[in-house]
Structure 1
Amino acid sequence: MARKPLTKPRKSASQERSRATVDALVGATARILVKEGFDRASTNRIAEVAGVSVGSLYQYFPSKEALVVAVVDRHNRDIMQFVRGAFADVAALPLEKAVRAMVAVAIQAHRIDPKLHRVLAEQIPRTGRLENVEGFNRENYALFRAYLEGHRDEIRAVDLELAAFVCVTSIEALAHTAVLHSAQKLSDEAVEALIEEATRLIAGYLN
C-alpha cells in the first residue's frame, strides 16, 4: 500500500527573508502546475524556478504535495476574501438582487486565475487533502445560510441548511463549468445571460 505524501509544512516562515523564500516556492509551484502539469512539478524543478536550493525547499516543505496544498490554501484565501466582502455587501439586499449579486461574485471568483483553479480542482485528490475543499465549502454554506436567516420573510418554509447547500452547490457548479470548461472565453453578454438564468433558478427555488 502506497504511503500518503506528507502535506504539512515542516515549519512556518516567521522572518521576512524566510517568508520571501516560501512565497517564491509557492508561486513557482503554481506557475509549474499551470504550464507543465502536476507530474513535472518535482521538488527540483520547483526549487529551480523559484531560484532557491532544494535544501532550502525541504526546510519548509517535505514534498511537492505539501507545496500544492500551500498553493490551494493561498488560492482559497484569495477567493474567500473576495466572497466574504461580497456577502457583507448583499446582506441587506432583497432576495432577487442578493442572489444576482452572489451569482456574479461566484463567476468573478472563478475568473481569479482560472487556469490555476482548474489544475487545483483536478489535483487536490492526489494531495490527499480534500478537507481543505470541504472547509472552503462549509464557509460558503454558512455565509449563504446567514443571509437566508436574515431574510426568512422572503423565502418559503424550508430547512435553511439544506437550502444553503442546494443554492451554493448549484451556483458553484454553474460558475465552475461555465468559466473553467467552456470552449472559449465567456463574452460579457454570455456572462450576463448566465447570471440572469441562474438568478431565476435560485430565486425560483427559494420563493
Structure 2
Amino acid sequence: MPPKPLTKPRKRASQDRSRATVDALIEATARILVKDGFDKASTNRIAEKAGVSVGSLYQYFPSKEALVAAVMVRHRAELMQVVRETVSEFAALPVEEAVPQFIRAAIKAHRVDPKLHCVLAEQTPRTGRLENAEVFNTEAYSIFFAYLEAHRDEIRAVDLQLATFVCMTSIEALTHTAVLHYTDRLSDEAFDALVDEASRLIVRYLSPL
C-alpha cells in the first residue's frame, strides 16, 4: 500500500510577504481545481499559476494534497461564516421558524464559490487528512445540535445526536444537490419552494407525535 500523502503545511507564514505567497498558492490551487479538477492539478502548475517557484511552494506545502487541504480550510471558513451570521437571527425562534432560516443559510453557504465546493465535495480523494475534511463541516452540526438542545421542550423525545445527524444530513443533501447541480434550472421561486418543502420535512420529523 503506497504511503498516504502529507497534508499538513511545512511551516506557517509569519511575515506579510510569506503570507501573500501562501495566499497566492491557495488561490491558484482553488482556481486550478475548478478549471481542471483534482487529478490534473500538480505542484508545478500551481506554482506557475501563483507566480512563484516550485521551491517556494515546497517551503510551505509538501504536496498538492496539503494545498487542497488548505483550500478546504479556507472554503469551510467562508461557508461557516455565512452560517454563523445567521445563527444569532434564529437562535431564539421556535422550531418551525428557525428551521427555514437554517436551510436558507445552508443554501447561501453552498452558493459561496459553488464550483469549488463541488470539486472539494465530489472529486477530492479521501486520503490522509482529507478523509475527514467535510466541506460543510462538523461546526454546522454543533450549531444545530446546540439549537435543538436549547429547544428540547418543543421537539419529540429523541436522541439529539441522532436527530442532528438526520436533520443535517437531509439539509446538506438537499441544498448541496440543488445549488451545485440545479442552480441553472431552478428559479428563486423554486428555491423558496425547496426551503418550504425541506422545512416541512425537518419540522415534521422533530415535532411531537
Deviation readout 1:127-172 (Å, 9 max, x if unpaired): 43122229x6432222111111111221111111111111111101
Q: What SS does structure 1 have at the residue aligned with 2:158?
A: coil
Q: Which amino acid aligns with 1:131?
A: N
Q: Which residue of 1 aligns with 2:173?
A: 173
Q: Which residue of 1 aligns with 2:162?
A: 162
Task: Provide the C-alpha distance between the structure 1 equivalents of 2:138 and 2:29, rounded to a whole number of angstroms.
Answer: 26
Q: What SS does structure 2 have at the residue aligned with 1:72?
A: helix
Using a 3 Å threshold, how does the CA distance of structure 1 residues 77 and 116 change in structure 2: closer, same or farther? same
RMSD of aligned residue pairs (Cα, Å): 1.5
CA contact (8 A) 2:76 2:137 kept: no
Q: What SS does structure 2 have at the residue aligned with 1:124?
A: coil
1:126, distance to aligned residue in structure 2 (A): 4.3
1:125, distance to aligned residue in structure 2 (A): 2.7
Gaps of 5+ in 1: none
CA contact (8 A) 1:79 1:109 kept: yes
Q: Which amino acid aligns with 2:12?
A: S
Q: Which residue of 1 aligns with 2:31?
A: 31
Using a 3 Å threshold, how does the CA distance of structure 1 residues 99 and 11 change in structure 2: closer, same or farther? same
Using a 3 Å threshold, how does the CA distance of structure 1 residues 142 and 185 change in structure 2: closer, same or farther? same
CA contact (8 A) 2:28 2:50 kept: yes
Which range moves more in the overlay, 19-28 or 138-147?
138-147
Using a 3 Å threshold, how does the CA distance of structure 1 residues 34 and 185 change in structure 2: closer, same or farther? farther
Deviation >3 Å, runs of 4+: none
Task: Provide the C-alpha distance between the structure 2 equivalents of 1:49 and 1:117, rounded to a whole number of angstroms.
Answer: 20
Using a 3 Å threshold, how does the CA distance of structure 1 residues 183 and 142 change in structure 2: closer, same or farther? closer
- Report the TM-score, using the length of structure 1 for normalisation: 0.94
Using a 3 Å threshold, how does the CA distance of structure 1 residues 119 and 77 change in structure 2: closer, same or farther? same
CA contact (8 A) 1:179 1:185 kept: no
1:1-207 residue pairs with structure 2 within 5 A?
A: 1-128=1-128, 129-133=130-134, 137-182=137-182, 184-207=184-207
1:85, distance to aligned residue in structure 2 (A): 2.1
Task: Provide the C-alpha distance between the structure 2 equivalents of 1:204 and 1:126, rounded to a whole number of angstroms.
Answer: 35
Using a 3 Å threshold, how does the CA distance of structure 1 residues 79 and 45 change in structure 2: closer, same or farther? same
- Report the TM-score, using the length of structure 2 for normalisation: 0.93
Total equivalences in the alignment: 206
Task: Provide the C-alpha distance between the structure 1 equivalents of 2:39 and 2:153, rounded to a whole number of angstroms.
Answer: 52
The percentage of counterpart residues that share the same residue type is: 69
